[in-house]
Chain A
């Protein structure tokens, strides 16, 4: 086997980086998804589109936008690509129903024009477009119109003045539709609000320094002089994004059999981004996140509350109250993730990944990764526990002792 551009791992981070890379959506598939949603966007904006006067635009939201996409568990599963279809209209131009249906009509025409065998399926808020040609993804298209002004008003009413004032965090808020609402078919000005761009901006702000670092490093690697500003976010991954990918993978494997109430990605992502503190490595990022993520779960009037950082009145854990299993699953997952990652990070050498973590991330995927970054490791199954440092009186022990002496030892055993 030839290994191109892969170096031998020397730390836990090298190993985790490689595993996380193998979770990435392949670039070819990413570009294919981009091409397809761009093509849908062009269709909606074509000259004889019934929507063209609203200048429709398609843009990604969710994990595609955040750079935390991971490949699905099996080839049979699909990536879901979340998209916003934004029309430059106002609430006076539509009811929720007419907006949803006008977008739906055009998406249907698109599917037909592309000879797709199945048309879009209507969901509560979205149109879902399935590709039957082995593309391995489907697109959730969310019809929306800009509504930042009302969003900011609502934030101000709830006392979130900083949010209300921030262009970045609330300037791109949108009104969306929901066909389960009683006023769905009526001309009203109380449509549901959403703010995926604001969330993405918040997420990015949690890793701004590392994002800049990675882009600088990326620019330095280019043969052609590139400016940091020219490098798109998706070209690099911060330790926060890598850690989230690994945590989501752990979640997917843990709930592979019974996934109905598994912890949702937005909860993992939000709590991870809160507890991330611009750590420079995946291992220390995972450590901070796993140690601290549950501290960001609030209790409001006895209800577990994971606020949307750009709309604190929205609770990402709102389903926990009606379905206690979701809450239970979240904490069971956190406990397991702490244990499995710590067994590697805090109790093992970097080249001796314990079986528990290997299985928790998928043995096949991990083995392939280990084989490529640890070519010398003939026996990939390592003891979970290191019994003693092999190197006697080693410098590591000396360093640990000196560190304690500097801080002043807390323990001074006595003889008896």
Chain B
């Protein structure tokens, strides 16, 4: 299957009007977006008082976006580099659980990333500056947060075994009908929740399920 590559034109089009403070360039190996990111009050209305906030940042984009998660660095020195402020050890911003966003969104374009997770992240940072509190729910640390996110995506209870089994099923290009149904009825899948699993399979394609599984397993190794 041909993999769509992110193009510089697509990135430029995404920022052309809506982020006039950003500039996109490429060195042939990746795309870099730098400048001032404006947190708009509204995506469509023009606010007399201007944007809510503005952050200087650098976004490093792989041509394999959205397969590869972008790396975002706040460059204005405004956000302390601590986990409490959702900054990763490498200094990059912990914008979202990438697979979670990919599975939830029906528009995984760079433009949608800017108006979705990235705007929400920096709006969150702005609110934290003002109030000391995060406006949106936070997930628990590390592994537990991942399980919680994935369980939400799958629409199931947050039980590690169930999450893992669902992801194993969904990792196959075609869910195996003779495997036991994940509902625990003891019946074969094809005689039980087949429809539901097929629907989930459509929503969460095998490569994504495999990636989620890999990420969970990375915590299980000693």
- A414 with B139: CB separation less than 8 A: yes
Give every chain A residue within 8 A of B83 (Cβ-Cβ). Answer: 415-416
By beta carbon, the residue of chain A nearest B40 is A346
A403 at the interface (CB under 8 A from B): yes
Those of B137-192 within 8 Å (CB) of chain A: 137-142, 145-146, 149
Among the stretches B25-33, B57-65, B128-136, B202-210, the one at the interface with A is B128-136
- A414 with B140: CB separation less than 8 A: yes
**A411-B120, A412-B139 known; A386-B51 Cβ under 8 A:** yes
By beta carbon, the residue of chain A nearest B137 is A412
A387-406 to B contact mask, C-beta < 8 Å, 1/0: 11100111011011101110
B201 at the interface (CB under 8 A from A): no
Shortest C-beta distance, A58 to chain B (Å), equals 41
A190 at the interface (CB under 8 A from B): no
Whole-angstrom distance between the alpha carbons of A386 and B138 in the complex?
Answer: 28
B2 at the interface (CB under 8 A from A): no
Give every chain B residue within 8 A of A401 (Cβ-Cβ). Answer: 123, 127, 135-136
- A346 with B138: CB separation less than 8 A: no
Whole-angstrom distance between the alpha carbons of A394 and B129 in the complex?
Answer: 12
- B17 with A346: CB separation less than 8 A: yes
A364-391 to B contact mask, C-beta < 8 Å, 1/0: 0000000000000000000011111100
Whole-angstrom distance between the alpha carbons of A348 and B97 in the complex?
Answer: 31
**A412-B136, A412-B138, A414-B97 known; A342-B20 Cβ under 8 A:** yes
Shortest C-beta distance, B146 to chain A (Å), equals 8
Partner of B48, one of A338, A350, A389, A393: A350
Shortest C-beta distance, B113 to chain A (Å), equals 9
Whole-angstrom distance between the alpha carbons of A350 and B50 in the complex?
Answer: 7
**A350-B48, A399-B41 known; A339-B136 Cβ under 8 A:** no
Whole-angstrom distance between the alpha carbons of A54 and B10 in the complex?
Answer: 57
A410 at the interface (CB under 8 A from B): yes
By beta carbon, the residue of chain B nearest A351 is B48
- B105 with A410: CB separation less than 8 A: yes
- B54 with A412: CB separation less than 8 A: no
**A284-B45, A347-B54 known; A335-B38 Cβ under 8 A:** no
Give every chain A residue within 8 A of B44 (Cβ-Cβ). Answer: 284, 287
B200 at the interface (CB under 8 A from A): no
B95 at the interface (CB under 8 A from A): yes
Give every chain B residue within 8 A of A384 (Cβ-Cβ). Answer: 21
B83-103 to A contact mask, C-beta < 8 Å, 1/0: 110101100001111001100
Give every chain A residue within 8 A of B50 (Cβ-Cβ). Answer: 347-350, 352, 386
A327-342 to B contact mask, C-beta < 8 Å, 1/0: 0000000010011011
Give every chain A residue within 8 A of B139 (Cβ-Cβ). Answer: 412-415
Those of B1-49 within 8 Å (CB) of chain A: 16-21, 36, 38-42, 44-49
By beta carbon, the residue of chain A nearest B38 is A347
A290 at the interface (CB under 8 A from B): yes
Shortest C-beta distance, A405 to chain B (Å), equals 7
A291 at the interface (CB under 8 A from B): yes
B124 at the interface (CB under 8 A from A): yes
- B100 with A412: CB separation less than 8 A: yes
By beta carbon, the residue of chain A nearest B112 is A410
**A399-B41, A413-B95 known; A387-B123 Cβ under 8 A:** no
Whole-angstrom distance between the alpha carbons of A161 and B54 in the complex?
Answer: 52
- B145 with A415: CB separation less than 8 A: yes
- Among A11, A335, A387, A394, the most chain B Cβ lie within 10 Å of the Cβ of A387
Number of A-B contacts (CB under 8 A): 167
- B123 with A392: CB separation less than 8 A: no
**A401-B127, A412-B138 known; A389-B49 Cβ under 8 A:** yes
B79 at the interface (CB under 8 A from A): no
Give every chain B residue within 8 A of A411 (Cβ-Cβ). Answer: 95-96, 101, 116-118, 120-121, 124, 136
Give every chain A residue within 8 A of B54 (Cβ-Cβ). Answer: 347, 385-388
A144 at the interface (CB under 8 A from B): no
- Among B121, B129, B136, the most chain A Cβ lie within 10 Å of the Cβ of B136
By beta carbon, the residue of chain A nearest B86 is A413
Shortest C-beta distance, A205 to chain B (Å), equals 24
A10 at the interface (CB under 8 A from B): yes
Shortest C-beta distance, A4 to chain B (Å), equals 24
Shortest C-beta distance, B115 to chain A (Å), equals 9
- A400 with B42: CB separation less than 8 A: yes
By beta carbon, the residue of chain A nearest B141 is A415
- B140 with A12: CB separation less than 8 A: no
Give every chain B residue within 8 A of A412 (Cβ-Cβ). Answer: 96-97, 100, 136-139, 149
B217 at the interface (CB under 8 A from A): no
Partner of A339, one of B20, B53, B97, B120: B20
- Among B16, B40, B44, B116, the most chain A Cβ lie within 10 Å of the Cβ of B16
Provide a sorted-by-A list of 15 A–B residue pairs whose CB atoms are within 8 angstroms: A284-B44, A287-B44, A338-B20, A342-B18, A346-B20, A346-B40, A347-B51, A387-B53, A399-B41, A409-B136, A411-B101, A412-B97, A412-B136, A413-B94, A414-B94
Chain B residues proximal to chain A, CB less than 8 Å: 16-21, 36, 38-42, 44-54, 83-84, 86, 88-89, 94-97, 100-101, 104-105, 116-118, 120-121, 123-124, 126-127, 129-131, 135-142, 145-146, 149
* 7 shortest interchain CB distances as A-B pairs: A411-B117, A414-B139, A342-B20, A414-B145, A411-B120, A349-B50, A410-B116
